[in-house]
Amino acid sequence: MSDSSDPTAPITRIKTPMRLDYRVTAGSNRARFLRALVDGKIFGQRCTQCKKVYVPPRGCCPTCGISDSESVELADHGTVTTFALINIPFDNQAFQLPYGAAAILLDGADLPLLHLLNNVPVEEIRMGLRVKAVWGPDPKPTLETIQWFEASGEPDADYDSYKEHL
């Protein structure tokens, strides 16, 4: 976009439609995680060496680099470790503005899961907020099967319980 009265003015902005189509192969560990979501379960992976639990599963431990791991069922409750407030409108936004997106440390996990918050007034979103998953009515092998997380009504988590996961 430029000043239309000056044909030599530099173009500072351009609006152009764009689309990216791509296909991702889940792999066996991620596929197991996605299939479990259909049954209303969340599975992570525990490293047999350092004992850290990752969700979604990685296939190999990002800390130790080994692929030896065990599957672990996790709770659908957790703690907000960090968050962002979404205030800028965009196409296909998930909820009425403003709303939150958060890193949620599920109970039993060592790595937060990124997801959306809903039914929580933005002024009440905070680190340590205890949340629970809201499952959709039509489960599919996708993280969208969890529609969002909302406040669980539990007391806030103590900072020391999640400070290593920020």
| CA–CA gap between residue 92 and residue 122 (Å, rounded) | 20
Q: Look at residue 65 and tell me if it is in a domain.
A: yes
* Burial (CB count <10 Å: 0-12, 13-18, 19+), residue 94: middle
Beta strands in the chain (DSSP E): 42-47, 53-54, 69-74, 77-86, 99-106, 113-117, 130-135, 146-151
Which pTM does this prediction carry? 0.83
Residue 73's alpha-carbon distances to 34, 36, 101, 112, in angstroms, are 13, 9, 23, 15
Into how many domains does the chain fold? 1
CA-closest candidate to residue 134, choices 144, 123, 121: 144
pLDDT of residue 162: 96
**Is 150 within the bounds of a domain?**
yes
Encoded tokens for 140: 């599919």
Q: What is the pLDDT of residue 4?
A: 64
Please report how many Cα atoms fall inside a 13 Å half-sphere around the Cα of residue 54, on the Cβ side: 20
Q: Does residue 86 lie in a domain region?
A: yes
- Long-range contacts, stretch 87-92, CB < 8 angstroms, 24+ apart: none
For residue 78, is it within any domain? yes
Inside any domain, residue 56: yes
**Domain of 50, in residue numbers:** 27-165
Spell out, as residue ranges, where the chain has pLDDT lower than 70: 1-4
Q: Is residue 84 assigned to a domain?
A: yes
Tell me, what's the pLDDT at 3? 53
159 within some domain: yes
